[in-house]
Amino acid sequence: MIEEEFVIKNSLGLHARPVTNLVQRISKYKSTVKIAKNDEVVDGKSIMGILTLAVACGEKVKFIVEGEDEQEVMNVIRDLVEHKFYTEPL
């Protein structure tokens, strides 16, 4: 299991477009993905679940990845977060 915390830098936080990009990219992997904000934990492959967290710009979220391809999945997540989910300029 791998856990990593990220600060969300998207100006509108995790809204529909970046969440859709995330879910589309990681859904093809076998590992399970959970996203935690404060005491709430949701399925990282569920668009609606992630949107319920209402993650705003500057907030921290923890990604928890577990499975046979967990390192590859975390690399994808890290890339998406660092590039603002490819939805706005860096």
58 exposed, middle or buried (CB, 10 Å; 0-12, 13-18, 19+)? exposed
Instruction: State the sign of the Cα–Cα–Cα–Cα dihedral 47, 52, 55, 60.
Output: negative
Which candidate in 15, 17, 25, 34 is catalytic? 15
Give every CB contact of residue 37 below 8 A, 6+ residues apart in sequence. Answer: 53, 55, 59, 60, 61, 62
Active site residue 83: no
Q: How far apart are CA 72 and CA 29, in angstroms?
A: 9
> Catalytic residue positions?
15
